[in-house]
């Protein structure tokens, strides 16, 4: 394990091998491939949002290192 941490893993409900290695698991049912990525990402995004709110972080603020590019179409 990296840094001797306790990983929280998002996995399929029938993935017993991964469950043995994880500290906690978030199980999702196996779906069609085009939905699997969305169903995997959403729980982790919600978890990170709630953790940030519990730590009193401003979740709506852009990070100070955020930079953006404005494209101007000159025609």
DSSP per position, 15-74: -HHHHHH-SEEEEE----HHHHHHHHHHHHHHHHHHHHHHTT--TTSPPTT---------
Structure confidence by residue, pLDDT tens digits, 10-68: 888 888 888 888 888 888 888 888 888 887 888 788 888 899 899 998 888 766 666 66
Residue 3 has pLDDT above 70, yes or no: no
pLDDT given for residue 1 in this prediction: 47
Most distant CA atoms of the chain, gap in Å: 59
Task: Pick 3 or 21 by higher pLDDT.
Answer: 21
DSSP tag of 3: G
Dist CA 41 CA 61 (whole Å):
21
């Amino acid at each position: 394990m990296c840094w001797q941490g306790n990983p929280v893993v998002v996995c399929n409900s029938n993935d017993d091998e991964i469950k043995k290695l994880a500290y906690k698991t978030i199980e999702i049912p196996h779906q069609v491939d085009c939905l699997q990525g969305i169903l995997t990402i959403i729980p982790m995004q919600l978890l990170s949002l709630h953790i940030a709110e519990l730590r009193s972080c401003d979740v709506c603020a852009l990070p100070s290192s955020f930079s953006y590019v404005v494209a101007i179409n000159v025609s």
